[in-house]
Amino acid sequence: MSKEYESLAKSIVEFVGGKENVNDVYHCQTRLRFKLADEGKADPKKLEDLDGVTKVLINAGVFQVVIGTHVADVFEEIEKFADIKKASGGEEPEEEKKNFLEALIDFIAGSFQPIIPALSGAGMVKAVLALLMVFGVITAESQTYYLLNMFADGVFYFLPILLAVTEAQKLKCNPVLAAGVAAMLLHPNWSALVEAGDPVRFFGVIPFTLATYTSSVIPIVLIVFVQSYVEKWLNKHVPKSVNLVFVPMLTFLIMGTLAFSVLGPIGAIVGDYLADFFNFLSTNASWAPALIIGGFLPIMVMFGIHNGVAPLGVLQMSNLGYDSIFGPGCVCSNMAQATAALVVALRTKDKKTKQTAASGSITAYMGITEPALYGINLPKKYPLISAMIGGGLGGLYAGITHTHRFATGSSGLPAVLLYIGDNTMSFFINIIIAIVISIVATAVITYVLSLRFEKAETTEGKEGTAAKIPAAGEGGTTICKVPVKGRIKPIDQADDEAFAAKAMGDGLAIDPEDTTVTAPFDGTIAALFPTKHAIGLVSENGAEVLIHIGIDTVDLNGQYFMAFVNQGDTVRAGQKLVEFDQKKIQEAGYSTQTMFVVSNTPDCKEIKPLKTGAAQAGEDMLEIVM
């Protein structure tokens, strides 16, 4: 088990609302994906403040916590603190209603994402096979070629069975029964009937359309979708005493008949139309898909739309044997994202940003872009714009040259091997050129923009520091006045565990008996939260304090609070800062206990309480020696 992530996992579960709020949790390559009973109980701000969490997203009804490539290690520890097995038993939690697009993307992602590792593994085996052929290690007539090809094609040949299992899990029907129905479509006896070409009628009445279902996608998706309703209806109406025998039997009889007579043929027809559409794109607008994916994939990732687009590549491959819809644009976009983060790492002066950008660029070059996207490119904006332009240009070249890959896999640098096939190296050469275009264009644009934005950020940082901690008087003593009438006690007796543990710094807690908060000293308003429940101040001697009104009052979104100052204002001791409606806050179920915290505690030589117990506003309360 990954003990080093135990503390992080415990905090994540706490900040998503506790284990009682977790209906389900799973992970992909970089993210923990939570299904929460009530998203309102989660605290995205606290999650993002955790060391180890890059970003929090809510897409298609899934609460996503972006971790990075070590997400599997964190997930191991999450299992200790979240009762993730409860979703498989007992009453099903009531699903949050989604709009059609959210529901569709959620369905597609839930069905296709679990099979990606198998498709990637098979794709890389095909890439190895192609390399062995190119370098003359084996020939197409050798048994080794025959067997390696079998290793790779097994996943694609039996793709309907894999999809049946994952889709059934998504739709909460029996995955083993779904796999059994899919196996009917691939049975050698059915293949023999199709090859013979003679009309087939079930009981001499129901016609079974002769169609091949190996490596197909649409037919089994339709079949399992209908099966989920049939199976639930049978489970509801068949007596429990004979349920175990008759539900599987009736499921096979009903779905087998529907699969070969109606649903399978409809899926095959839809698949043929999709093949025609893909051929049309390849002939008339080959530049469009790679350009769109190459340029706008980061936006798609942010909104979760990529989960609905990526399976188009799988569909195209199942129909035509190659993917030009998603793969080429995706690898160009990823290389652009990696390059943008790398340039930031080289240009920035901030050590933490440099470290995040460098590690994010490495994982992005391997095909995992979320750390670079959410940790660097999106917050800074200009690297994201550069990457979108560079990725679009590379994708445009790949599209114009009809570049496509012959297997599905990750879209990092190793993915270039997937473009070797069809007894030619031309696709491999073209994807290399497309990647070079993406990298060079992104690097140049990011560098040029960094000349302005990195300089601006550095200047802003210096100006902010100057305003925050004036040089005059720095290193002296600050006497803090009582900001609100009430009863004062040590911070370790605060009702909030985080403040009591001094996680935010040393200080005092106040049980207020008044509703007006005043400035504790002469200084500057360094931060005023939009919710007005917390205000940060810096004294003339450099002491930094946070006045936090109430516990969890951030959830009120500013209701019952009124601010009388703005961020950046200079204030005098005793000046009115905030008023709050204590009665209504308490009626809403929140404590109004106010925390007075020295937020730069590590920089202080001494923090000495001067007052405890009952106190009037304006009395000396705390001495801070810098």
Catalytic residue numbers read 28
Return the H-helix or E-strand segment holding 59.
strand 55-59
Q: How far is CA 439 from the centre of its chain?
A: 24
Q: Positive or negative, the Cα torsion across 581, 583, 588, 592?
A: positive
Please name the amino acid found at residue 527. A
DSSP letters for 335-371:
HHHHHHHHHHHHH---HHHHHHHHHHHHHHHTT--HH
Amino acid identity for residue 510 in this structure = I
Q: How far is CA 55 from CA 68, 301, 351, 372, 376, in A?
A: 10, 13, 20, 11, 11
Report the alpha-carbon distance of residue 606 to residue 480 in Å, rounded: 13
Separation between Cα atoms, residue 563 and residue 541, nearest integer Å: 25
What single-letter amino acid sits at 614? A
Q: What is the DSSP letter of 260?
A: I
Asked whether 220 and 213 are in contact (CB, 8 A), the reply is: yes
Spatial strand order in the sheet of 62-66: 22-27, 31-36, 62-66, 55-59
Cα separation, 381 vs 443, whole angstroms: 15
Alpha helices in 50-99 (DSSP H): 71-81
Question: Residue 171: what residue type?
Answer: L
Type of residue found at 101:
L
Coil, helix or strand at residue 16: coil
Cα 515 from Cα 78, distance rounded (Å):
41
Query: In angstroms, rounded to a whole number, what is the distance separating the alpha carbons of residues 145 and 619?
Result: 86
Backbone angles phi, psi at 405, to 5 degrees: -105, 155
Place of tokens 């095959």: 268
Q: Give the C-alpha distances (Å, rounded to integers) separating 557 from 383, 484, 530, 534, 536.
A: 32, 22, 8, 11, 18
